Structure 1
Amino acid sequence: MRILVVGAGEVGSSIAGSLADAHEVVVVDVDPERVESLTYSQDVLAVAGDGTDLDVLEEAEVGKADVVIASTDDDETNLATCGTVDMVSDAFTIARVEHTNYLETWREHRGAFGVDFMVCTDLLAAEAIVRVVGLPTAHDVDPFADGCVEMAEFDVPADSPLAGDTVAEADRFDELTFVAVIPEGADHASVPHGDTVIEGNARVVVVGRPTSVRDFSRTLDPESAASEVQDVVVVGGSTTGKLTAEALVDRGISVRLIEFDEARARELAELLPDVTVFSHDATDPEFLSREHIQDADVVVSTLGTDERSLLAALLSKREGADRAIAVVEQARYVDLFETVGVDVAVNPRRVTAEEITRFTRERRAENVAIIEPGGAEVVEVEVDDESVLAGRTIEEGVSALPGGVVVGAITRDGEYVTPRGSTRVEVGDHVVAFVQADAIDEVTAKL
């Protein structure tokens, strides 16, 4: 497949890097130095120029493209690019936007702006935050099979009851499968075996029925997962903060929101009648103490600048908040935030890049979650007559696939089926499997 990516910033470069191994990728960007750098660092063809310029698009051979992804940091540029492409090409167009009004218009009138698929950075970030809030101790959560299956990533605390156990010893849950273990400092996820030791500070990836995933969470870190999340403080009235607060209220969670700008605070109070809104500086320790930030189960910091978001998150933790999630604008700071005390750092651009990459891959799969580091994936596939799993046991089917594949869950007619080596897979089953990065295309084709 030929994919044209317009915009080579964090999002575009990440998308290009994720897709270049399996597809012919062309990248267009207005910055010649960025184009030159990308040419040397990625296996892509790069063109310098404005993606809204028809001459530039023709130089990039837009007429041969199967998919065009507009991923610059400017909404109007992305929409104009897709509109231009729609006039001169049959390519499937994907646009990234930050403003939700464009997304709302597009949802009401599919195909508006010449866009076939639209992703909203702020909304995706909010959804990622809410999923993590809903599962205490989780680092990332993705639903599969219409919610019947969850994939979750967990950091293993050094003092966890499971630290030092083998996978066989930790596997106490009938409806849960360990699909990957990432040792501290490792650059890729590895498939665990029964004798694989789960070390403290490692990361584990599990797939299973949501209730079993929650039971595992409680066993992994009993103190942090002891109670349900009831009180969340959102620091910052950005669009991401507003969307996060709305979604949490919809889940029945009590939300307090702190916004420094008085006019914005009044606006949010009107828009969010079920949220308690404060107009104050969230980096003021006296204010945090006075408003009992220590009673919060989770603090979500979305202040717009990484320095202030980090400060607010760390101050909240120091005052006694159980957990802190921070929105990080610069992807390179994600590891730093989590190293110095933020429990989960969410980078909107990374989330957006993953969503666009996921959608591109979903043309072969029902759903996809990307596992970092290393780019491994958890994919959901509906089994058809041509699948190597059809009519065979899992053990037989997996033997026909490359190494590094783990079947984590199966649903049949909406019901969860615990995967074991002897479990026979039927046509129509939904299979959720972990796949190593270097085998993704071959595995999804065979599944």
Structure 2
Amino acid sequence: MHIIIIGAGDVGRELARRLSAKQQEIVVVDRDPQKVKQLSQELDLPVITGNGANLEVLHKANISKARMLIAVTESDEINIIACMLAKTMGMKYTVARIRNPESAGDIDIDTRGLIQAQVGIDVIISPEKAVAQEIAKAIHWPEASEVEYYADGRVMLMAVYLAALAESEQQPLQDFALPAGCSVVGLMKTDGKFILPEADTMLSGGDKVYLAGRVAAVGKAGRMLHGSKTSIKRVIILGGGLIGYTLASILEGEKEHSYTVKIIEKDEKRVDELNRKLGKSIVLQGDGSDISYFNEEEIAEADVLVAATGDDRTNMVASVMGLKRGVAKVISEVTRIGYGPIYEAIGITDTINPHLITASRILKFSRGEDVLVLDLLKDEVAESMELVLPAGAEVLGKNITQAGFPKGLRVAAIVRDDEVIIPDDDITLTAGDHLIIFAVPKVCSRLGSYFVCE
């Protein structure tokens, strides 16, 4: 597929890297000559200097041949105009990153239909809102390091770190009495090696275990493997930007949980604005990286500390302070893709990267209409996705064994007629099945040969 990416920032660069690795034909457009030079040196693909909202530039990018345009510049207006122009020229799919919801009206993210009729954008992605949703999931499941939902919330993928084993240093997977309705689909060993485990695979304390299945079963299994259950009541959010505000709104609207939410924001006008917008949360003015302010606010009494100030240095300092004061769960926003290892090196393991989340949500639409959800794992060692098995697919009518799936692919769950099935090798695949797929990157580009119509 010929895809035009407008914007060579972190998101555009990540998309170009991943899509070109999947054998897609990519052209990148950016008006910053330095970014163009840097990207052209990093990746072997065409990069054009120019404004992506300009017709002449779009023609240079061979827009008549393209089937998708992805606009991810720092300017909402350029992203919207580029998509509108592309639609007038017959573009099949358009995707725009919109940071300020007011730029495109009161439109929810990842929405189709009406948006296309209104402004020519098939999919709108708000990175900040997406990050807030991810953090909310992490607060809801505090034992987990990653959580993803599929099949309208009926299937969950969860990653947890295995607690130290009491009886021995290692134990085979088959010896863990996991609840019915879930299975282990992936394993990141403490030495960094990632595998799709078998029944006799040995597990050690500190391994990162990926579970998939029914929500209740996965939650129970996660708590069992993690070795503890964390009760979350008090949440402190550092930063009252769009991430902090959206997160507080989500937590205020939780029906199953009652959270006490406190936001610390350094801008006085923003504090007043948030106090008007939010009904239950407490909003205070202060500098989240100031040590004396931390003591004053008794951060140690918080169950969760969220650092979402928009600045990596401030987020790091605040997160380290929270960890030293014994906060049970510290979650930090990572504003630059390359900073992830730095956070991990100083002990901050629960991180959320807006660029990777945005790239993940956009990548889904490059897969085709049968892929409903696609997620990149935090360690980038595998992808998980939900797809609908179409009539005429190569594997239709075959069982798991007969399908001949490659070694790096696992069908984690099947949703059929509202029933969640943890498949064995003998289950037959039928048209309309919602398949939850767990696969390593080297086999992801070959999925079409199994799940796409002949």
TM-score (normalizing by structure 1):
0.92
Partner of 2:204, secondary structure, is coil
Kindly state the Cα deviation for residue 260 of structure 1 after the two structures are TM-superposed. 2.0
CA distance in 1 between partners of 2:213 and 2:261 (Å): 29
**Which residue is 1:412 aligned to?**
416
Q: Work out which of the residue numbers 311, 322, 336 in structure 1 matches 2:317.
A: 311
Q: Work out which of the residue numbers 418, 423, 429 in structure 2 matches 1:425.
A: 429
Kindly state the Cα deviation for residue 209 of structure 1 after the two structures are TM-superposed. 0.9
When the two structures are aligned, how many residues end up with a matched partner?
Answer: 442
Kindly state the Cα deviation for residue 94 of structure 1 after the two structures are TM-superposed. 0.9
- Kindly indicate whether the alpha-carbon contact (under 8 Å) linking 2:320 and 2:348 is maintained by their aligned counterparts in 1: yes
Kindly state the Cα deviation for residue 369 of structure 1 after the two structures are TM-superposed. 1.6
Amino acid at match of 1:193: E
CA distance in 2 between partners of 1:161 and 1:287 (Å): 45
Structure 2 gaps of 5+ residues are none
The reply on whether 1:248 has 2:254 as its aligned counterpart is no
Q: Work out which of the residue numbers 147, 152, 158 in structure 2 matches 1:152.
A: 158
Deviations 1:21-76 (A, max 9, x none): 23111111223343233234324222222212222111111111100011111212
Q: Which moved more, 1:381-390 or 1:249-258?
A: 381-390
**Which residue is 2:355 aligned to?**
349
- Kindly indicate whether the alpha-carbon contact (under 8 Å) linking 1:29 and 1:51 is maintained by their aligned counterparts in 2: yes
CA distance in 2 between partners of 1:162 and 1:307 (Å): 40
The reply on whether 1:16 has 2:16 as its aligned counterpart is yes
Deviations 1:292-350 (A, max 9, x none): 32222211111121111111122122222111001111111122213312231111122
**Which residue is 2:307 aligned to?**
301
TM-score (normalizing by structure 2):
0.90
CA distance in 2 between partners of 1:92 and 1:143 (Å): 25
Kindly state the Cα deviation for residue 208 of structure 1 after the two structures are TM-superposed. 1.1
Q: Work out which of the residue numbers 342, 361, 366 in structure 2 matches 1:360.
A: 366
Written as runs of structure 1 = structure 2, the 5 A alignment for 1:40-59 is: 40-59=41-60
- Kindly indicate whether the alpha-carbon contact (under 8 Å) linking 1:179 and 1:205 is maintained by their aligned counterparts in 2: yes
- Kindly indicate whether the alpha-carbon contact (under 8 Å) linking 2:148 and 2:157 is maintained by their aligned counterparts in 1: yes
Q: Work out which of the residue numbers 200, 206, 214 in structure 1 matches 2:211.
A: 206
Taking structure 1 as reference, are residues 145 and 64 closer, same or farther at Cα in structure 2, changes over 3 Å only?
same
Partner of 1:229, secondary structure, is coil
CA distance in 2 between partners of 1:126 and 1:419 (Å): 33
Taking structure 1 as reference, are residues 163 and 119 closer, same or farther at Cα in structure 2, changes over 3 Å only?
farther
Amino acid at match of 2:208: R
Taking structure 1 as reference, are residues 173 and 339 closer, same or farther at Cα in structure 2, changes over 3 Å only?
farther
**Which residue is 1:64 aligned to?**
65
**Which residue is 2:85 aligned to?**
84
Deviations 1:274-307 (A, max 9, x none): 1112222333444434433222221111112111
The reply on whether 1:234 has 2:231 as its aligned counterpart is no
Written as runs of structure 1 = structure 2, the 5 A alignment for 1:41-440 is: 41-107=42-108, 110-111=115-116, 112-156=118-162, 164-170=170-176, 172-186=178-192, 189-223=194-228, 226-251=229-254, 252-374=258-380, 376-397=382-403, 400-440=404-444
Amino acid at match of 1:41: E
Structure 1 gaps of 5+ residues are none
Amino acid at match of 2:3: I
- Kindly indicate whether the alpha-carbon contact (under 8 Å) linking 1:103 and 1:119 is maintained by their aligned counterparts in 2: no
- Kindly indicate whether the alpha-carbon contact (under 8 Å) linking 2:146 and 2:378 is maintained by their aligned counterparts in 1: no
Taking structure 1 as reference, are residues 373 and 278 closer, same or farther at Cα in structure 2, changes over 3 Å only?
closer
CA distance in 2 between partners of 1:25 and 1:401 (Å): 28
Amino acid at match of 2:57: V
